[in-house]
A and B are shown apart, each in its own frame.
Chain A
Amino acid sequence: MGMFECFDPREGKILSLLDESGTLHAPPEGFPLLGDEQALTAYRTMVMARAVDEWALSLNRQGRMPTYALNEGQEANSTGALMALRPDDWFVPAFRELGGMLLRGLTLSQYYLYWYGNEEGSKLPPETFAMMPIAVPVGSHMVHAVGIAWAERYKGTDRVTVTFMGEGATSEGDFHEACNLAGVWKAGVIFYVQNNHWAISLPWEKQSASPTVAEKAFGYGFEGVRIDGNDIFAVYAAVKLAAERARRGEGPTLIEGLTYRLGAHTTSDDPSRYRKEEDVKRWRQRDPIIRLERFLLDREILTGEDMRTIRDECVTWARESFEVVERTEDPTLEDTFRYLYRDMPPILQEQLARRKR
């Protein structure tokens, strides 16, 4: 039995530490606890992510931003996970991991630049970020994480890899291939599934007949655990434990973070067509930011005034960052050709020359 034996998802167990009222419950023995300073960092990151989303949505409605995928309601998942990892651990995101990306040092203007429609937004030197770019084909990137983890072990490092996906991605064949390979190779990978209950319009019940995502792990020979993904403390603890395990060479872990996509799938989607507002309201009570605010207020780590200041700073930062994006030059014709190969082959040189005429 493993470290999550007291949270077997097949018995309906869910790891939860910070409840909706902001009360922190003592974790089981040996489970790491996010410190006050870290909780503050997490809070700033999540508020930042929320402000970035809200401004992006507004920009989209103003016609200044193309289709944008929101993180609203899910911020604790990638924020807590990246706080539990070392800066050199690999991060293989899907596309709702803004908190984690900000913690990795991605500038907001670069993040916005990607959604604005410029490939420069995904220019991520591995030695700086150890982070893969956003993967649009849903569920196809987890196998990359398994390969990265294999490579790090081959190179003799103890870097681990976390990869994120939604619950919808677990229906894709590559999810199975990734889990199967990771199990066979005992790869140092953490599969973090953000179960936000909706894959565009499809609810989990129609996505899979499995009661949980987490229990799928056992079929691949490793542990799976269900956690409250809106609880930054639970996310931190689970990922920290999974990372330690991976670092010791004990293989992969699947973490199912129960969360909820409060907003639309993207700015092009209208969720009122397929889900009830009452459900959304219920999940708004479980907002990861609100409960962390309650905790920080209770502990007198922050005052209401501090929080307003933080929020205002984030809003200003979001707006200023997007102004930088709007001033950024569009890619050139040459850029469109330059990055297909290290050395542009003659056939592409010729096609480029023709386009220039």
Chain B
Amino acid sequence: MKVLTLLEAVTDGLRSEMAADQSVVVFGQDVGVEGGVFRATAGLQKDFGESRCFDTPLVESGIVGAAIGMAVAGLRPVVEIQFCGFALSAFNQIANHAARIRNRTRGAMTAPLVIRTPYGGGIRAPEHHSESIEALFGHTPGLKVVVPSTPHDAKGLLISAIRDPDPVIFLEPARAYRAIRQQVPEQSYALEIGKAKVEAPGDDLTLVSYGAQMIEARQARAALAAEGRSVELIDLRTIYPFDAGTVVESVRKTGRLLVVHEGPQSFGVASELIATALDKAFDALLAPPARLTGPDVIVPLPRGERHYLISAEQVIAEARKVLAYEP
């Protein structure tokens, strides 16, 4: 075991798969010599050579498009889009080609590529650097969308994403990159995509979140525990295909559900999870399922970002409301 940040765990996962599989190649803007603007690919070019980890010009669409070609030709490309706001320049390639090539060719071709990109607010960054666009990808048939919240999961899920036979959008919570340190196994390990994790058990309320928002969710759970309230905390980990079973099972036990995420409310992940809970656990519900999400607004620049982000206090307050509800 070694103690790693989430960022270091990403590098460790890349390194592990690059060592194991010659078909894994890593590229994107500034990922080679510089090792990435966040340093997620630090040292990879030095250790694996320029043919395995290299810089590209400023071509988001070209990066993803070329990765599709490489994947069809048998490689396992892992590309970095510097910030998820810029992934929209490649959305045509992602949604119209990567997500569709298997279906278009009736399984004759696949595009097993990984698009890594930091997402989310709280890093005091310029416009387009702080969005949470997981719902856009989750709403696109043919993609898998993964969001780790811990170093351990980041490594294991990234390894799974690289080995996955289908395209995976791997959203890395920028705010959590260096915020959390954790024991991570030295060896390679794969965590199943499509499985949520019950991070801490509880009986009174099911609290679901993912990514950097898990930081406040954990704080809220601890605070509520001090008040004698038992919260079951679930890290969704995969946005699509999401783990309805784990969420529903928990809601059946607690009867109360609160979903918290940074991304905008309307047509978001929380809406989908709540609809699923209503569909499959309606009879077990003791309170209306609630969502606490980013509003349907543009993420403000740093001076106004506090108006957007969700604090632990807000999670606690919302959780208290759901807990206090009496039919």
Residue positions of A touching B, CB distance < 8 A: 90, 92, 119-120, 122-126, 132-133, 135, 137, 140-152, 154-155, 173-174, 177-178, 180-181, 184, 335, 338-343, 345-348
Contacts and interface: CB of A to CB of B under 8 A. Distances in A.
A120 B108 CA distance: 10
A180 B25 contact: no
Give 7 closest A-B pairs by Cβ, nearest first.
A147-B69, A143-B65, A345-B241, A147-B66, A177-B62, A151-B73, A144-B69
Contacts, number: 147
Contacts of B75: 151, 154-155
Contacts of A124: 105, 108-109
A174 B166 contact: no
B245 interface: yes
A184 B144 CA distance: 31
Nearest to B110: A342
B51 A154 contact: yes
Contacts of A141: 65, 97
Contact of A146 (B66, B77, B109): B66
Interface stretch (B53-61, B169-177, B249-257): B53-61
Contacts of A152: 73
B66 A339 contact: no
Contacts of A144: 65-66, 68-69, 72, 97
Given A133-B104, A148-B69, A177-B62, A184 B109 contact: no
Contacts of B62: 143, 146, 174, 177-178, 180-181
Given A137-B92, A178-B62, A339-B106, 19 more contacts: A90-B73, A92-B69, A122-B108, A126-B72, A132-B72, A133-B109, A140-B65, A141-B97, A143-B64, A144-B68, A146-B65, A147-B70, A148-B69, A148-B72, A151-B70, A178-B65, A181-B62, A341-B241, A346-B245
Contact of B106 (A92, A119, A151): A119
A126 B109 contact: yes
A140 B93 contact: yes
B278 to A, nearest CB: 15
B244 interface: yes
A180 B59 contact: yes
Interface in B26-78: 51, 56-57, 59, 61-62, 64-75, 77
Nearest to A345: B241
A136 to B, nearest CB: 8
A177 B166 contact: no
Contact of B66 (A133, A143, A155, A348): A143
A140 B241 contact: no
B65 A339 contact: no
Contact of A339 (B102, B144, B242): B102
B96 interface: yes
A150 B92 contact: no
9 contacts: A140-B96, A144-B68, A147-B67, A148-B70, A151-B69, A174-B61, A177-B61, A177-B62, A178-B62
A236 B242 CA distance: 52
B70 A184 contact: no
A116 to B, nearest CB: 14
A39 to B, nearest CB: 32
Contact of A155 (B74, B102, B105, B194): B74
Interface in B92-126: 92-93, 96-97, 101-110
B58 to A, nearest CB: 9
Contact of A122 (B59, B73, B105, B245): B105
B244 A346 contact: yes
A174 B240 CA distance: 28
B141 interface: yes
B136 to A, nearest CB: 17
Contacts of B109: 124-126, 132-133
Contacts of A146: 62, 65-66, 69
Nearest to A174: B61
A143 B108 contact: no
A135 B240 CA distance: 26
